[in-house]
Structures are given as C-alpha cells and as structure tokens.
Amino acid sequence: MFDISFNVNYEGLSMQRYILTEELRQKLKNPLGLLIEGKYDETMDKLRSIIDEKKPKRVICVGDVVSRNALQFSIPVDVNIIDNIAMREKIEDFEFNTKRTFQINNPAGTIELLAWQAIKEAIKVGNSTVLVNGEEDLLTLVSIIEAPLESIVVYGQPYKGIVIVEVKEEKKKEAKEIINSMTVD
C-alpha cells in the first residue's frame, strides 16, 4: 500500500471533487469507445487480438468483471481498477497478484482528488491494482486522461460486453470535457 502524497498537474481541469449530474449519467450510458459484444471468451479473444495488433503502452481495466476475465484469459494488464462489486452486488475478493495495491475512497457518482492521484500513480508505475471503496465507474474518465497516448482502457458494458477505448488526444479531450461538465464540490 502506498501513501498517496505527490503533486499532480491537471492541465485543462479545475481540480476538486467532481459529482456526476443526471444529464451526464444518461450520456455516459453510451460507450466511450469500441463496443465488443459477446460472451466473456469472445470479448477477451477480441481484446487479445487488439492488444496484439496495437501493442499499447498501457492496458488499464476498469471494473471487476473485465479485470477478472482479463486475468483468467491471461491478457496482460498494467492496472486493474476494482471495487469488489459487480452489477451492484458484492462479490468475493479476488487476488490479482500485482506488485502494488492502492486503496482509495471514491463515493458513487464522484471523482475524488485522492482517487485521481492514485490512478495517475498506478498508471505511471504499472503492475498495480486500485481497490476502490465506493465506485470505480467514473474512474474510467481519469484513466483515459492519465494513460499515455496509444494505451487502451477497457471497461464493461452491462449485459452487452466490453468497451475498448484507444487513448488518443481526442479521447483525452472528450474525457476532460465530460469531467468539466460535472458539478464541482
């Protein structure tokens, strides 16, 4: 476990605590990237082929189901961001055997400063699990912003499959715009 105490530059963002609005909640139901529909083995096979083709700088999985499936299908992941909840139900703890574990608080519908800092550090050092007390969903946006260009951020799309976001400047800009549309506390 790490003490999260370092300076972070949030270029283009006013950094405090961000709170999701109802309007944005509806907008975020749409995939931020490529939706891969199918069962776990189908989605993981497609993810593996995209990783093999693109050779991303970092692979970041946000969500328990997608993180566990990636591990079970031997897909190389640099950062897993989980909360031990799937479909709003508590699930059994799972060991990712990463070198670093960050434990953070991030209440549902928010992005907290310390959570943001932990994500940034986890992406920087790699081989990390970020265990969230609260909810990890919105941390997908932080992951897109903090990941190096040409990385991949993967998250689950309930009842459909997975979403693969290729990190490019326009995706970073889109994630910043969404965050800047949130209420600041």
Whichever domain contains 152, its CATH number is: 3.40.1380
State how far the Cα of 129 lies from the Cα of 61, in Å rounded to an integer.
10
Distances (CA, A) of 50 to 14, 45, 80: 34, 9, 18
Domain contains 144 = yes
Q: Using pLDDT thresholds of 50, 70 and 90, give the confidence band for residue 91.
A: confident
Distances (CA, A) of 130 to 57, 67, 91, 160, 181: 19, 11, 16, 24, 25
Instruction: Give the closest residue to 2 by CA, choosing from 147, 137, 119.
Output: 119
**CB distance 75 to 47 below 8 Å:** yes
Domain contains 36 = yes
- 104-157 tens-digit pLDDT: 999 999 999 999 999 999 999 999 999 999 999 999 999 999 999 999 999 999
pLDDT at 89: 74
Instruction: Give the closest residue to 148 by CA, choosing from 118, 122, 112.
Output: 122
Record the tokens describing residue 117, joined without a space: 């800092």
Domain contains 134 = yes
- 3-13 tens-digit pLDDT: 333 334 445 44
Domain that holds residue 67: 32-87+96-180
Residue type, 58: R
